[in-house]
Structure 1
Amino acid sequence: MILTLTDVTKSFGALKVADGVSFSVPQGQALGIIGPNGAGKSTLFNLITGNIAPNSGRITFLGQDVTQRPAMARVRMGVGRSFQIPQPFEGLTVYENLAVAASFGQGRSEAAVTEDCIAILRDTELLRLANTQAGALSLLDRKRLELARAMATGPKLLLLDEIAGGLTEGECQALVATIKGLHARGMTIIWIEHVLHALTAVVERLLVLDFGKVIALGAPTEIMASKEVREIYLGMEA
């Protein structure tokens, strides 16, 4: 397993945002995470990346206990993440944004990461925009750049946080095709998303969170057919 969470709990005062969360992700798999707003999805990502520490439980990555390791150490180990709202360095070019992420995330010089950055630009369909300032990009290309910057850190595990949000149907399909291509080449992915058809086009399993608890975990068709999941996530009586 590339990642395992064992009985992970996190509270902010009386509010329990992760309640005994346990699951594993095999190498090369794509796992989708769904749940209503406030279910604890972003908190779960922050626990995996080390941006916040759990109150109890254990997190292992590549067989090593990383529960108390800081976020930068996990990046250097191979945990990459995109954010829901892209925030590139707008005054830098697309290529420069990748070079900064690669140098910082991998601890290598800009010259040493040049070929990697060019390959990532090609994979994310941004090569044509390599010399364009990030502040001038469309929403779709800003999303692509957010994905590319996460890839530039050299991840073995890629966390995607609602990367399809706000896109048109055509733009969403284009981004899904890019993510499918990365996954087809062996990238392990955990993806939080409200756009369900985008998510189910890529992932092999779905995990459902509600009030910080894992409610269900299984194949997408099985999960979406669940009466409990439809009532919790879709807000309707099954």
Structure 2
Amino acid sequence: MTMLALQNVSKSFGALTVTDDVSVEVPKGQALGIIGPNGAGKSTLFNLITGNLRADKGAINYQGRDVTHVSAMERCLTGIGRSFQIPQPFEKLTVFENLLVAATHGRNQSEAEVLDDCADVLERTELLRRANTPAGRLSLLERKRLELARAMATDPKLLLLDEIAGGLTEGECQALIRTIKDVHAQGVTIIWIEHVLHALISVVECLLVLDFGKVIGIGDPDEIMGSKEVKEIYLGIDV
């Protein structure tokens, strides 16, 4: 089953084309990594998938349904969750309260209906001991974990992660990888944008490369990273 399919999707801001005729299919249960230099259009692609931006042309299908013109809120309610590159929690709310906000609005359920699930997410993301801590007092790793936890609290079938490993130490990165692998093992389809390549490749089964809004390669991570074009465009190596 195809979880997500983009068909000839394009997006421009004035004369600048940031997503250029992108077509890709993501099978249910796959972990897909996306790499590319800064300005390649990676985050814009996420915003098109979630509905935060509308495509100028092309179609976006999610679980067999055309969601090209569906609102971001409705896409969230149908199971598309995401994290953001820069964590922006409600800093005066506790960690647990942050999850309650995400779960009640992202699932359109009452607090009583989501309490147990939020507690489970806190345990899976190793934040249970920080449940009553104001989010503004968290360390960087904990804020990254909270960003992941808030996305998980919406009960996503498709989880989009935007550079969630950036800025972490190697030990912190490995801890986060374990959590993401656990989420993937539960059957959640993942699309992950990341510059920390060793973290990304340790999780994903397929790798997509963007450059100037175009797909320049997709396939097995080792083959993609070994290709001449990727080394020249992404790694800056003259092959």
- Give the TM-score taking structure 2 as reference length: 0.99
2: distance between equivalents of 1:5 and 1:212? 14
Structure-2 separation of matches of 1:180 and 1:70: 29
What residue is the counterpart of 2:143 in the other structure?
142
Quote the residue 2:225 is aligned against: 224
Q: 1:173-205: per-residue Cα shift (whole Å, max 9, x none)?
A: 110111011111111000000000000000000
3-state SS of the aligned residue for 1:38?
coil
Matches within 5 A, 1:14-93: 14-93=15-94
**What is aligned with 2:116?**
115
Which position in structure 2 is the counterpart of 1:172? 173
Work out the CA distance in 2 between the residues paired with 1:88 and 1:48: 22
Which SS does the other structure have where 1:2 is aligned? Answer: strand
Give the secondary structure class of the aligned counterpart of 1:3. Answer: strand
CA distance in 2, matches of 1:156, 1:187: 5
Q: Which amino acid aligns with 1:4?
A: A
Q: Which runs of 5+ in 1 are unaligned?
A: none
Q: Could you give the per-residue CA deviations for residues 124-165 of structure 1, whole angstroms, max 9, x where no partner exists? A: 111111111111110000000000000111111000000000
- Distance (whole Å) between structure 2 residues aligned to residue 96 and residue 173 of structure 1: 27
* CA–CA distance in structure 2, aligned partners of residues 97 and 212 of structure 1: 34
Q: Are 1:96 and 2:103 counterparts?
A: no
Partner of 2:192: 191
**1:10 matched residue in structure 2:** 11
Q: For 2:93, what is the secondary structure of its paired residue?
A: coil
Asked if 1:163 is matched to 2:164, the reply is yes
SS in 2 for 1:203: coil
Distance 1:35 1:22 in 2: 16
CA distance in 2, matches of 1:99, 1:190: 24
* Aligned-pair CA distance for 1:17: 0.5
- Partners of 2:59 and 2:215 in 1: CA distance: 16
- In structure 1, the residue matched to 2:201 is 200
* TM, length-normalised to structure 1: 0.99
What is the RMSD computed on CA atoms of the aligned residues?
Answer: 0.5
> Structure 2 CA distance, aligned partners of 1:149 and 1:184?
18
Which aligned segments of 4 or more residues in structure 1 are displaced greater than 4 angstroms?
none
Query: Per-residue deviation at 1:114?
Result: 0.3
Q: What amino acid is aligned across from residue 184 of structure 1 in structure 2?
A: A
Shift of 1:236: 1.0
Overall identity of the aligned pairs, in %: 71
- Residue 235 of structure 1: how far off its partner (Å): 0.6
Number of residue pairs the alignment of both structures matches: 238
Instruction: Give the superposition deviation at 1:13.
Output: 0.8
Distance 2:198 2:52 in 1: 29
